[in-house]
Amino acid sequence: MTKFERTDNNSRHIGKITISTPHGDVQVSTPLLYPVVNLMTGTTANGGGVWGYVCDVLLQSLSSSHPYWSSLYSNTPFITEALHFLDYNVRPQSLEARWLSQPLRHRYASETRSNHRTSARGPVSHTSAMFVDSGGFRLLRLPSLVLHEYGLLLEGHEAEGVFSLQQRYGADIIASLDYPFLPTISPGEAQDRADRSLFNAIEAMRLARSVSSTGFNPFVYAACHGLTPEMMSQTVTSLFGQSLELGYDVRRLGVAVGSLVPLRSSKKLEALVALVHAAVEAIPRDVHNFAVSPVHTFGLSGDLVPILVYLGVDSFDSSTFLQQAQIRRYWHPSKRKYVHLRDLSDHKGVLGSLCSCPVCENLLPNDIIASLVSGEEPTLSHDGSHEYKSSWYAKLALHNLYHEQVQVASVRSAVGQSALSEFLIDHAGHQHRIRLALMTSARLRNDWKLISALERLSSRSYHKLPLLPASPLEPAPAPTITYRYTPSSFNICDPDLVERPDLSDLLAQYEPGAQFELALILPCSSVKPYGNSVSQRTTLRTLSAAVGADVMARIHKITLSGLYGPVPVEFETEEEVLRYDFLLSTVDKAQIAENARRVATYLNRWTRQGRYRRGAVAYVPFRAYRDAASRAQALAPGLVITPSVNVRSTSRDEDQLAELIEAVRQCFGDVKGDIVTGADVPAPYKSMVQAAFDTNASPGPRID
């Protein structure tokens, strides 16, 4: 019997759809991502272009019997849209004769499916669920689209026309014909479209019941829309009210929320989560207080998935993986975003090192990547056929899909371990806008525990941290280290190059506080946060005792990281700064030069804008750091370096620190005792400092 059930009494997120078919039951487990697959892409089931290869893999043809594919994508449920043949010039006659004479997958499973070029294609063996969407979104921008030629969407019989197509395709799951809208639509029109969609949903339930004796027993998703949470709530409430009144079996009814893609595109995530929440909340509850019906959201995947699962969404669909591949965009696993292949130029030919997915490791031919990266059309080997290029795009798409599936699998795993909250907090750490959307979701659900965890996460942002922690930060377990960080993981000078998007934003917006008159540069330590290390604590305590708290309050501590160059104190608890392990060595000339460039760039940038008016002092007793500071001094001549001579094993800490104290005292020479006046620096000195830091006035020697 076709039905949905929640299968874990302890979790509202785990469920199963069972579809009764003439060949036995088909089951899908939720949460789940359905990749979008187009089947009617030409005149035969070989599939046109890239789709032929994608279908080979996702529908399991003989040519995809490679172990990598089968372990990755074995018999995955997929979604296809009822009207997609319109994109492939399939004429009415051809539709009827070639595609509707038997269920779609029968044609694909036929022995006659072959590839005339390589003859390696072969029949598919897919038996998992096929979800057929109505294609209503096509009507979004084409209100007058007339499909009469195809005998479809005859006035007054639109829902029936689409239902009949879905049946003839051999769908296991269907969505009712709907009329999506943009968020800018007038409220009256939105209501009209939402009502017509609701009417079609009820109609789909009626049709499903009327044909059940024929063996066609699809699970039915009612496509629901709302301009506001109130409209959404009314629509869903009315859906269940009418269904129950008419005696339809609501166990085979799901709610599919539409009109969300435009909100996502315009980054209105808070409005989006409010609509989804309203839809979920309007569904009747079972004895465990779980929603009785599963919820699907059309066209959303990627980093929204964890939040949507939290709100109670059970399934997703995505065509992003293929759309991005078609424009040569590659999901960058560590940047967590799509990047054009040409931006991987540093990694030319070594994609396997960027991504550990089986596609990249074993199947992507590096020569083709290299030719694409270089901006040329791939010079296609064997016969230079079009087919080879399509296969390459398909592999890029499957790499992208792999990462979408990994995202969903990790949420599913977190749900299975009752660790969704922890997963969400970690997820929210990556992106500011995701954090805001999650905060809205937590508020909608009155989830105080998550709200306060997210507030703590926000308070980690730089402006709320203590600025010069001379004393240790709060004791915390020692962070584990990782070697995956590179000099680009944290870069105060070139935030655009930083991999993690929210850190990149934070660095781009960063300004040192206006109260800081002196930059104090100290070497990094293996203990993290740096402020907890014995070396920094000793230095700061000694300095503070000598110059007093008032002066200390005007000093900005900047740690010279061997890996990242300057790290202002506000960033000491960022993941990348806590968890790297790197000791700068005197033989690493390139790294020393890069650190020097970053230090000089940072100091010059801010002194030109009036910060650090008393200059900058580096305290660098260790040789490699001293080399970096000396090279920086060549570009930023205002930088004072202490101690003045190279440290030897016989040097005493006190002597070195005495030099630092003296240098700082000189910079604050006009500040008397503990009087805090914010006194102006004497003009001649001030202009000297400004001039010294101005690289235009004093370019200094080039560093390599």
Please give the C-alpha separations between residue 162 and each of 129, 174, 203, 546, in angstroms, as whole numbers. Answer: 19, 10, 11, 82
Site stretch for Zn ion (CB under 5 A), options 354-362, 507-515, 521-529, 593-601: 354-362
- Nearer to Zn ion (CB atom), residue 98 or residue 399: 399
SS3 for 3?
strand
- Nearer to Zn ion (CB atom), residue 359 or residue 420: 359
Could you tell me where the DSSP H helices lie in 445-570?
Answer: 448-458, 501-509, 534-547, 549-552
- Nearer to Zn ion (CB atom), residue 272 or residue 357: 357
- Shortest gap between Cβ of 630 and Zn ion (angstroms)? 43
Query: Any contact of residue 355 with Zn ion (CB under 5 A)?
Result: yes
- Shortest gap between Cβ of 483 and Zn ion (angstroms)? 20
- Nearer to Zn ion (CB atom), residue 109 or residue 396: 396
- Nearer to Zn ion (CB atom), residue 342 or residue 456: 342
Axis-axis angle for helices 432-444, 501-509 (nearest 10): 110
- Nearer to Zn ion (CB atom), residue 321 or residue 530: 321
- Shortest gap between Cβ of 412 and Zn ion (angstroms)? 20
Binding to Zn ion in span 152-171, by CB under 5 A: none
Question: Do the beta carbons of residue 479 and residue 528 sit within 8 Å?
Answer: yes
Site string for Zn ion, 398-437 (x = CB under 5 A): -x--------------------------------------
- Shortest gap between Cβ of 345 and Zn ion (angstroms)? 17
Answer for which of 220, 360, 540, 692 binds Zn ion (CB under 5 A) is 360
- Nearer to Zn ion (CB atom), residue 399 or residue 554: 399
- Shortest gap between Cβ of 633 and Zn ion (angstroms)? 44
Number of residues that bind Zn ion (CB under 5 A): 5
Please give the C-alpha separations between residue 520 and each of 468, 618, 634, 666, 691, in angstroms, as whole numbers. Answer: 10, 6, 17, 13, 19
- Shortest gap between Cβ of 360 and Zn ion (angstroms)? 3
Site stretch for Zn ion (CB under 5 A), options 77-85, 296-304, 319-327, 360-368: 360-368
Phi, psi of 119 (to 5 degrees): 50, 35
- Shortest gap between Cβ of 355 and Zn ion (angstroms)? 3
- Nearer to Zn ion (CB atom), residue 126 or residue 399: 399
User: Which tokens sit at 210?
Assistant: 């009327």
Site string for Zn ion, 28-57 (x = CB under 5 A): ------------------------------
Site stretch for Zn ion (CB under 5 A), options 81-89, 126-134, 394-402, 672-680: 394-402
- Shortest gap between Cβ of 387 and Zn ion (angstroms)? 22
- Shortest gap between Cβ of 402 and Zn ion (angstroms)? 6
The per-residue b/e assignment along 365-379, b for 16 or more CB within 10 angstroms, e otherwise, is beebbbbbbeeeebe
- Nearer to Zn ion (CB atom), residue 278 or residue 359: 359
The Cα–Cα gap between 322 and 331 comes to: 11
The Cα–Cα gap between 455 and 479 comes to: 21
- Nearer to Zn ion (CB atom), residue 168 or residue 332: 332
- Shortest gap between Cβ of 608 and Zn ion (angstroms)? 43
Please give the C-alpha separations between residue 284 and each of 194, 254, 661, in angstroms, as whole numbers. Answer: 20, 11, 71
The Cα–Cα gap between 201 and 197 comes to: 6
- Nearer to Zn ion (CB atom), residue 68 or residue 388: 68
The Cα–Cα gap between 88 and 380 comes to: 25
- Nearer to Zn ion (CB atom), residue 40 or residue 359: 359
- Shortest gap between Cβ of 79 and Zn ion (angstroms)? 23
Site string for Zn ion, 305-344 (x = CB under 5 A): ----------------------------------------
Site stretch for Zn ion (CB under 5 A), options 81-89, 252-260, 352-360, 419-427: 352-360
Site stretch for Zn ion (CB under 5 A), options 37-45, 57-65, 397-405, 685-693: 397-405
- Nearer to Zn ion (CB atom), residue 331 or residue 516: 331
The per-residue b/e assignment along 639-664, b for 16 or more CB within 10 angstroms, e otherwise, is bbbbbeeebeeeeeeeebbebbbebb
- Nearer to Zn ion (CB atom), residue 291 or residue 401: 401
Site stretch for Zn ion (CB under 5 A), options 119-127, 356-364, 381-389, 678-686: 356-364
The Cα–Cα gap between 506 and 626 comes to: 29
Question: Do the beta carbons of residue 617 and residue 595 sit within 8 Å?
Answer: no
Sign of the Cα pseudo-torsion (186, 187, 193, 194, in order): positive
- Shortest gap between Cβ of 361 and Zn ion (angstroms)? 7
Q: What angle do CA 335, 337, 339 make, to 5 degrees?
A: 95
Cis previous bond, 475, omega within 30: no
Q: Count of CB atoms within 10 A of residue 111's CB?
A: 7
Binding to Zn ion in span 464-483, by CB under 5 A: none
Site stretch for Zn ion (CB under 5 A), options 104-112, 355-363, 547-555, 666-674: 355-363
Please give the C-alpha separations between residue 28 and each of 3, 258, 564, in angstroms, as whole numbers. Answer: 11, 21, 47
Instruction: Enter the DSSP assignment of 214.
Output: G
User: Which tokens sit at 406?
Assistant: 């990994």
Site stretch for Zn ion (CB under 5 A), options 8-16, 168-176, 269-277, 392-400: 392-400
Q: Which residue has the tokens 């907890």?
A: 532
Question: Do the beta carbons of residue 176 and residue 197 sit within 8 Å?
Answer: yes
Is residue 473 classed exposed, middle or buried when 0-12, 13-18 and 19+ CB atoms within 10 A define those classes?
A: middle
The Cα–Cα gap between 458 and 55 comes to: 44
- Shortest gap between Cβ of 307 and Zn ion (angstroms)? 25
User: Which tokens sit at 107?
Assistant: 């044609």
- Shortest gap between Cβ of 50 and Zn ion (angstroms)? 17
User: Which tokens sit at 146?
Assistant: 């007339």
Question: Do the beta carbons of residue 84 and residue 130 sit within 8 Å?
Answer: no
Instruction: Give contact residues for Zn ion (rule: CB under 5 A).
Output: 355, 357, 359-360, 399
